[in-house]
Amino acid sequence: MRFKNFEDAVAVVTGGGMGLGEALCEELGRRGATVVVADIDGEAARRVAERLAHAGTPAAAVPVDVANQIEVVKLIENTVSEYGRIDYMINNAGVAIGGDSRDLSMQQWRRVLDVDLLGVVHGTVHAYQAMARQGHGHIINVSSLSGLIPQPGNAAYCTSKHGIVGLSLSLRAEGVDLGVKVSAACPGDMKTKIYDNMVVVNMPREQVATLSRRTHYLMPQMSAEAAARAILRGADRNRPLIVFPAVVRVIWHLYRRFPGLFYRVNVHRMRLFRQLRADQSETL
């Protein structure tokens, strides 16, 4: 089934209560889709859904913890029961916990993997099964530039995002004969609250702000609204990987062409990163 520019489609967006997820919900609404706003923050999801409904978009809010498989199954089953189908599943929910890997506890590793990777697996697998039964659908998994290149100082997040890319490209080949499309979006840095909410272990909040400013200098941020348009444009063209903006595509190309150079750059970056650690008793 082909939807022209998402018109009349039924779309589920996880992490839809803020940031990129909220922008995706609003852009889908402008394009004529019915939007199911799913978020662990039920009140945030409700606010987005009410704003969409006020603008004339059919919308529903569902509180969902994507790390909880049962909740994700109910989300998809209830969507199909209510609307008769699920046309787009956008797995966007995520958390960020960074730092020197010596400083991260296994609990913190599990938190990132449970939400950023298994949360996407939950949404992907169960939406894939529903879409295979109905004979059509498109799953869009939000990864990152960190899913394409290594990112020292953010190993747990990077592990999850690489996993999303591998899952998406593998399932894309499986799903083609079943009518199911799968894409992975790999954006660069965005103007969202991710740095406000991000935890960097053993690093004071003011140092996190310094680190983010350095990142923004090298890679200017794009708005969540522009990112949402880029993702939906890429999905409409059925791109396997939606890599944007242009500077991210350049970085990805250079990494594949010069992996040794990137390794040396990353070693240098990690040395600078360690200078900001609160605990300087061990610097190597």
E strands within the chain? Answer: 10-14, 34-39, 59-63, 88-91, 97-98, 137-142, 180-187, 190-191, 199-200, 222-223, 241-244
How many whole angstroms separate alpha carbon 162 and alpha carbon 149? Answer: 8
Pairing of strands 10-14, 34-39: parallel
How many whole angstroms separate alpha carbon 212 and alpha carbon 226? Answer: 20
Is residue 263 among the annotated active site residues?
no
Phi, psi of 35 (to 5 degrees): -120, 130
CA-based nearest residue to 13, from 252, 228, 279:
228
| In contact, 41 and 48? CB cutoff 8 Å | no
| Active-site pick, 88, 128, 157, 195 | 157
| In contact, 47 and 35? CB cutoff 8 Å | no
In DSSP terms, 138 is beta-bridged to 88, 181
Catalytic residues: 157
